Amino acid sequence: MADFQALPQKPFLKQEAHQAAVTGFIRMEGEQAICTIAIHFSESAILKIGSVMLQETLTVIDEGVADLVGEITNMVTGATKKILWDKGFGFELSRPEIFLQQSEYRHVLPHKVVVVPFQSDFGDFQIEACMKDIRKPAAWGKYSDHRQIV
């Protein structure tokens, strides 16, 4: 396990595609909402994090590193799922998808995507999240006049 601190920076709304060496992407679906999460790593960050986690020196992004990004994506979304469960949202997780040098993943569009950049001793990375409320209008409470929650 990588024992390091990552300091979150100021979140912002995504304006353009983020180019990363490797991205882990996962979809969470529940009765109330659909959420997508992407975790972007620079090459240097994932190689350093992976070297610590696997206790071996990694020098290239290969299938093993891609698998590691999938595991990290599972850990982050698993923790997110628990936090949301405690707030009354139940989700099922898809299998993580890994994208190398590309950004072909699709968030729950056209909804806004929040980006949280992180700084660490191992390098910078970003987490993106997007959530769409899919409850029926009767469950919207004060929004029962059928306005869309965005």
Query: In which band, very low, low, confident or very high, does the pLDDT at 144 lie, cut at 50, 70 and 90?
Result: very low
> Is the pTM value of this prediction over 0.95?
no
> Is the per-residue pLDDT at 2 higher than 60?
no
What is the rounded average pLDDT of the residues 138-143? 49
CA atoms of 1 and 4, how far apart (whole Å): 9
Q: Which domains does the chain have, with CATH numbers?
A: 6-143 (3.40.1550.10)
What is the rounded average pLDDT of the residues 31-50? 92
Among 1-15, 18-32, 62-76, name the most confident range.
Answer: 62-76
CA atoms of 113 and 132, how far apart (whole Å): 10
Q: What letter would DSSP give residue 124?
A: -
pLDDT of res. 1: 53
